[in-house]
Structure 1
């Protein structure tokens, strides 16, 4: 019998399809998920489990890894106290040769928490002698070559994504018109979290005035929309993403060129240059690179922006004002026309 999700649910379309494909099952009360091939149960009420479940499905459907070579909660040998890897992909059916180690965190964690999780998955990958590791926190992800990792220069080990079916590491990942690797649209809660993560990166816990940070975020969004709307052919890669082994300065230079070009064509939108560090832009690109702001509908963008502004400016930052004019500007900016 085909599974149909109830009207009031927390189950995504991706997981609904996974249920119909026989990968997983979820109890009627949405409390427990079972990974059927692995005969493994977990609490689905845990936000991290939702992230792991969706990535597990992606590993099978998008990366073409066999369910027989995937393991959950893999115990790290010789560790006291006991420690487990969220997901391990193996090179063999006997599960003797670890290939990729995955650490899953809930969407919306802080940059500091994400960096800590990144170091944790690298440590696990080193213990297991796995060549690749990836940290997944919703749409924010970092894939790495284990042997190249250095805490002081993480970009040298960072790759655009894990290999597909034991293949080569690609230079870029996201490309126009690809059924698996084109940019994805978001619902309002996902977009709100993406905006919050990006704003928090730029606000840096009070390093900047929140309105100044938001101004910089608008510039970055402007660049992303311009890149999405560029006249590229199907199969061509987007510029708003992090290349394999790419330094923050290189990302900044490429995206600043788009911004400067757009400023010349439409000088009344933004009159000032980017005023952030390359490392900050690199982090924000990591939050936004896999999503489409252009294809996400205007109503979703409007609601997400308003909720984000109200939560951030009336809460965390201690600012109190009604941001409707700013929301209107931001949404109009995201509806810029093609070149």
Structure 2
């Protein structure tokens, strides 16, 4: 329930129109003294419709009957509400049909038919069908056969005038009262998004993915309309109707206005949507019916953000198998970093834009504090100049400093829409492979001819003048949760060998140095190296990674590379259940890394190479390895002398003895190399401290991060405490 609806109920109680029992289980309509079960979802809608008729439209309670009998042939039905035009309640004027919020679009259409049949039977002039989330009004024409004509609203009491539209910016036009848009809560907004989406694909005319794209376009039109309609002007994103217009004309003109809004918006942001709206007139009207009365621009940012994420997250899990970072983890990462309005921030795998949105929200709150503006109050005493400075403070950050890369075009569009809903920033979200080379020339080389044609315009936007800051050594912060478990194959992505982590190099303990390209490498490993290219010196990477990078012995070379590229700030272990409710169960951690300057990286590499060389000499490593090799060759020579013929070499005893010699040799080599590795680690730790290369690493284990494996809140979030301490730790580094 939104604030507006709660105010209606409170006013209804104060004016003794309704009353509740002490547990709010039952409602009493005082004038008719009728008691009904309020926990029934339809009853809640009926109570609101009853109060709107009296408190908004001005109809006297004496002229309203609830649950009135309607004779339909040989049967008797019950109309939810009937408004009469006379004091004796003999002349029905408006029939109201109330349905629960989660009614399907088909069920809503059936309710319209039902309301029309009641209205024609009762000889009423108007009908109103409402689910709380959606309203439809129509006039019952007197001609025979009886027909209905859609309206934007029912007449107010005492007025015979049919308004051409219902919603006007500011609620008043030419000294006449209209309705303004209302702010709603998260749960209702989530339901509206779901209902609008279902209205597009529920009949099977569109697949869910296409329906999602089209809904995105209409939400874009809705927000554009809200932002560009001056006070006193009617909104375009609503149903207009004049007396006795048929639905085809109404829908056609509505579609024309919506498409005009779409084209106006695309002139400013041509990269947001490249395709036209592909919905028929009736489908556009169905979505407008759900969205027309709500104010997306002024609805609380957190509420509409959560609503969009909830709707979008459930859709993409079902349709794409995509798993988005839980809000608690996103908030933790962003909160601990010293991001300001001058910081350049990038997410190289931005998904729906969760990290970017929280970064924007962080800067917006900084603006609130800096300019003493409370987003929850009117702030009427704040002058216009201060509001402008406040707006420019965070909006400039969104427009010029906040960047995202997402490989999936549809998910990238979701991120852009998410940014639009949160007041811009979307122009810096590009559709691109976050692991591909970042120069314009290398982008062209990495794409097929077909892909080049398809993305030509997008690439110009991504690398050209508008987004000139997509460049190496530029970003202060990279915050990301790259895809886990995927691999990049050299046969599919020619750029793999351009990564150090895309190649295999000889160990310092190998006698013959070599370097060769890997056939494949995991995406999360490559994203760590790609972030290093984007970051400026001392820039910070915060990345969600699978724990295998930290623990698997086979990935020691990756850990060595991280040590050379970055100062390891912190490792925060997440619980096993961190991603379970999203459908992913990989044990993960958040790794915070600070980019070394090139001189520091070279210093570390030189130090390590020098230490390795010193140890090999002092421990006579190469001599010992040669001795082991000589010993192995001698034993094999003696074995071959003992079994000279080919027939002898086919015996099982020969094969077993030869295998034993080989195994024994490998074990001795492994023992020697383990000893060298242990000596190296011990000496490295000691010398790192003396050379000023040693440092403290913040480490913590979070076992409860605010929700359980099903996503249900636990009422406790250890990340809050960890975050406070880590924030102070990072402050000491930057």
Distance 2:170 2:12 in 1: 23
For 1:1-339, list aligned pairs within 5 A. Answer: 12-77=6-71, 79-147=73-141, 157-167=149-159, 168-178=161-171, 181-233=179-231, 235-244=232-241, 245=245, 246-314=249-317, 319-323=320-324, 325=352, 326=411, 328-336=415-423
SS in 2 for 1:252: helix
Question: Deviations 1:162-218 (Å, cap 9, x if unpaired)?
Answer: 001141111011011128610001101110111011111122344323222111111
Q: Which moved more, 1:243-252 or 1:44-53?
A: 243-252
SS in 1 for 2:141: helix
SS in 2 for 1:77: strand
Say which structure, 1 or 2, has more relative contact order (CA 8 Å, 6+ apart). Answer: 1
Unpaired stretches in structure 2, ≥5 consecutive residues: 172-176, 325-350, 353-410, 425-734
Structure with bigger gyration radius:
2
Question: Deviations 1:43-67 (Å, cap 9, x if unpaired)?
Answer: 1011011001011111111100000
Distance 1:22 1:91 in 2: 23
Distance 1:307 1:128 in 2: 43
Distance 1:328 1:20 in 2: 45
Equivalent residues, number:
322
Q: Give the C-alpha shift of residue 319 in structure 1.
A: 4.7
Distance 1:276 1:253 in 2: 12
Distance 2:311 2:144 in 1: 35
Distance 1:109 1:274 in 2: 26
Unpaired stretches in structure 1, ≥5 consecutive residues: 1-10
Q: Which moved more, 1:100-109 or 1:207-216?
A: 207-216
Q: Give the C-alpha shift of residue 240 in structure 1.
A: 0.6
SS in 2 for 1:76: strand
Question: Would you say the 8 A contact 1:186–1:296 is kept in 2?
Answer: yes
Distance 2:202 2:72 in 1: 38
SS in 2 for 1:126: helix
Distance 1:133 1:149 in 2: 16
Distance 2:169 2:151 in 1: 19
Distance 2:144 2:190 in 1: 32
Distance 2:178 2:125 in 1: 24
- C-alpha distance 205-54 of structure 1, shift in aligned 2 (>3 A): same
Distance 1:237 1:195 in 2: 23
| Runs of 4+ deviating beyond 6 Å | 148-151
Q: Which moved more, 1:17-26 or 1:182-191?
A: 17-26
Distance 1:256 1:16 in 2: 40
> Normalising by the residue count of structure 1, what TM-score does the alignment of the two structures yield?
0.89
- C-alpha distance 301-279 of structure 1, shift in aligned 2 (>3 A): same
Distance 2:315 2:18 in 1: 36
Distance 1:265 1:123 in 2: 47
